[in-house]
Amino acid sequence: MKLARALGSVGGLTLASRVLALVRDSLAARYVGAGFASDAFNGVAFRLPNMFRALFAEGAFSAAFIPMFNRKAAGPGGVADGYRFAERALAVLLPVLVVFTALLIAAAWPITWALSGGFSRQNPTPEQFAFAVTLSRITLPYLALISLASLLGGILNSLDKFWVNAAAPILLNIAMIAGLWLFHGADEYETAQVQAISVTVGGALQLLWLIWACRRAGVSMKLKRPRLDADVKELLRLIVPAAAGAGASQINLLISTALSGWLLASGSITYIYYADRLNQLPLGLIGIGLGTILLPTISRLLSTGQEQVAMDTQNRGIELALFLTLPATVAFITVAEPIVRGLFQYGRFTALDAERCGWALSAFSIGLPSYVLVKVLTPGYYARGDTRTPVRYAMLSILINIVGNIVLIPLMGHVGPPLATALSSTVNVAMLYSTLVKRGHFAADGQLRRRLPRLAVAAVVMGGALYAGEGLLDPWLGGVMVQRYVALAVLVGAGIALYGVACFLTGAYRLSDLKALMRRKSATKTENG
């Protein structure tokens, strides 16, 4: 149950961050709406920081750095060797980030064009496109800030201080909420610029938080002259394929956004963005939390020869991921439009916007289990030093996504990109799972095989009940903000209660499981005095 307790700590903080992100997005929908200004911010200026956060803070850098740090810390020199390795990595990372960020800022015009498809269907004026480029230049420094923060967060994760790193994104959301609430402009363009400024401010706050936390934890590092020794070369060799492997879903979303800007009308990028943000709520709570915990845990077990324990840990990770993900998937399919209406249909965001965004959310949610399972399965590769296999599968999934977008956008409009992303992610997970099984690195145990079909049935029962009863909350979902949030809380609470009852009725979980959990908690309290 150590895995569940660690996930509770990380997941609770991530949930707080995601709830704040929903508040932020609700304010953005109110003050910016769904038009060119929101497409420029959500599709380009905020897409790049989000992608790099996923690639570095939650993906490539952690996947490469944490196993190497743990191996150094487990050596004869102890954790001091790990810190020295981190110092050498920082010495190389810092100048690379400064140069890379400067180049991106200089090339903001072509980058904006590439990420948006030139907003071709929207036919923007030169002034509008220049505005989109300006937003990108304002947010690009966040890339360097979050990448440096990821190194410090990786050290803290390796020291089992998971909560510190998980709390950092809260600062970004607070900065953006403060910007929207206190400094929103007279029109959507001024407000979008405030959003962009608050992104970089939030990145600076995250980095300062992690610097302070590292000092509190006794982590002391000094800036040194960059030197490409064998360890740093190995780190760089692992980062590149890990970036593509861990960031496949982000790269897929980036491609989908570019194609949407090229082929779809104004507001489509915003519909996809808000749908993705809702989809990211369970992904952030479950997938990222599990991935953060599993990588250092499995790498530490493998470094001490505990193969079977590592496999058991991954079994429980998959079980826990699907236990928490399946109900969210079914809810987003059955009651997507009421959820979007309750959160975003206010001010400049109309009823038609809410309906279209709900369609995109239902399409995204089909792939929600696979988005989470990518985070659970890839540590099985990274902990063994294999970053190449995930990247091969990620590249194939990206190709499937591109083809899916080209085929589905003419048929389904703005629903095509989310559906293509979901299907490509599902293929990626199938390949990752089958390869682990073939190599003998994973085998589903009896408990996992017994519980998964029962969990699926419980989720469907819950979804049917929500769909049948959603009409009772309709008047509240269209009311003032407090009424909306109360109605959404009732909807979520009813779903959780129904799912819990259905889990026991289907035998997915039994009373003996709860008793065993309580015994473990009591034993833990006794051991801790």
For 357-394, the pLDDT digits (tens) are 999 999 999 998 998 888 788 877 877 778 788 888 98
| 515 assigned to some structural domain | no
Closest of 319, 428, 425, 317 to residue 366, by C-alpha: 425
Euclidean distance between CA atoms 470 and 462, whole angstroms: 12
| 122 assigned to some structural domain | yes
pLDDT less than 50: residues of the chain: 1, 517-529
C-alpha torsion sign, points 256, 261, 264, 267: positive
| 509 assigned to some structural domain | no
Alpha-carbon distances, residue 105 vs 141, 195, 502 (angstroms)? 8, 18, 52
| 333 assigned to some structural domain | yes
pLDDT at 423: 93
- For the stretch 424-437, pLDDT in tens is 999 999 999 999 89
pLDDT at 444: 86
Q: Which bin fits 123, alpha (ψ -120 to 50), beta or left (φ > 0)? A: left
C-alpha torsion sign, points 78, 82, 87, 92: positive
pLDDT at 294: 67
pLDDT at 251: 72
Residue in this structure with the two tokens 């009863």, named with its chain if needed: 469
Q: Which bin fits 286, alpha (ψ -120 to 50), beta or left (φ > 0)? A: alpha
What is the token pair recorded at 455? Answer: 């969990």
Residue in this structure with the two tokens 């982590």, named with its chain if needed: 219
pLDDT at 518: 44
pLDDT at 10: 63
pLDDT at 56: 60
pLDDT at 400: 92
| 200 assigned to some structural domain | yes
pLDDT at 110: 92
Q: Which bin fits 122, alpha (ψ -120 to 50), beta or left (φ > 0)? A: alpha
pLDDT at 293: 63
| 495 assigned to some structural domain | no
Range of the domain at 109: 2-444
| 273 assigned to some structural domain | yes
Alpha-carbon distances, residue 449 vs 134, 149, 244 (angstroms)? 52, 39, 31
| 168 assigned to some structural domain | yes
C-alpha torsion sign, points 329, 330, 334, 340: negative
The count of domains in the chain is: 1
